[in-house]
């Protein structure tokens, strides 16, 4: 890779990091191309970047960003997921790691917190924002629907 290509890659990574919700580092040693492609497909709409990047280049891209602490996780060949929806990415990574023993989650950073593998797995168990909104809507609507059912039953008994 030429110097110009490297600087372009670093610039592209830095711009995606500015809009990122989280960054996660995985070790994919032993995954087949087909398995890696399946993971990419699952992550496609949840990440702005999912790449196997040389650690040195990724560390340069992470420098002077809020995700700089993640560079300490990069010791061996790794893949990096720059997340638009960090919670959804944790769910995909945890599920994929459970199904494929060759995928190892090293950790990541979401908001201000540096996460280890256990932190990523714990986050993956939280409900998504859509699920939370659905629960709140159900809680708000349920009393009115119960009242309507009781009123309907009471009206039937009077007839």
Class of domain 3-126: alpha beta
String of DSSP letters for 26-67: EE-TT--HHHHHHHHHHHTTTEEEEEE--HHHHHHHHTTSTT
Question: 37-90: per-residue pLDDT in tens?
Answer: 999 999 888 888 888 888 898 888 888 888 888 888 888 888 899 988 888 889
Q: Domain segments of the chain: what residues?
A: 3-126, 127-159
Q: How many CB atoms neighbour CB 6 within 10 A?
A: 14
Task: Enter the pTM of the model.
Answer: 0.76
- Is 104 in a helix, a strand, or coil? strand
Residue 24 binned pLDDT confidence (cut-offs 50, 70, 90): very high
Phi, psi dihedrals of residue 110, rounded to the nearest 5°? -130, 130
- Is 159 a residue whose pLDDT tops 60? no
Q: Confirm if 135 and 127 have CB atoms less than 8 A apart.
A: yes
Q: Residue 155's pLDDT is what?
A: 67
């Amino acid at each position: 890779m030429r110097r110009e290509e490297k600087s372009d890659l670093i610039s592209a990574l830095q711009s995606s990091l500015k809009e990122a919700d989280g960054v996660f580092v995985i070790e994919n040693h032993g995954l087949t191309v087909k398995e890696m492609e399946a993971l990419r497909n699952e992550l496609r709409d949840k990440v702005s970047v999912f790449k196997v990047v040389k650690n040195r280049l990724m560390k340069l891209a992470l420098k002077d960003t809020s995700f700089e602490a993640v560079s300490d996780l990069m010791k061996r060949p790794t893949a990096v997921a720059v997340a638009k929806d960090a919670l959804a990415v944790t769910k995909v990574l945890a599920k994929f790691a459970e199904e494929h023993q060759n995928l190892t989650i090293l950790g990541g950073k979401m908001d201000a917190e540096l996460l280890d593998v256990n932190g990523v797995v714990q986050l993956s168990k939280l409900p998504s924002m859509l699920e939370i909104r659905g629960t709140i809507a159900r809680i708000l609507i349920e009393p009115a629907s119960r009242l309507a059912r009781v009123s309907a039953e009471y009206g039937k008994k009077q007839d």
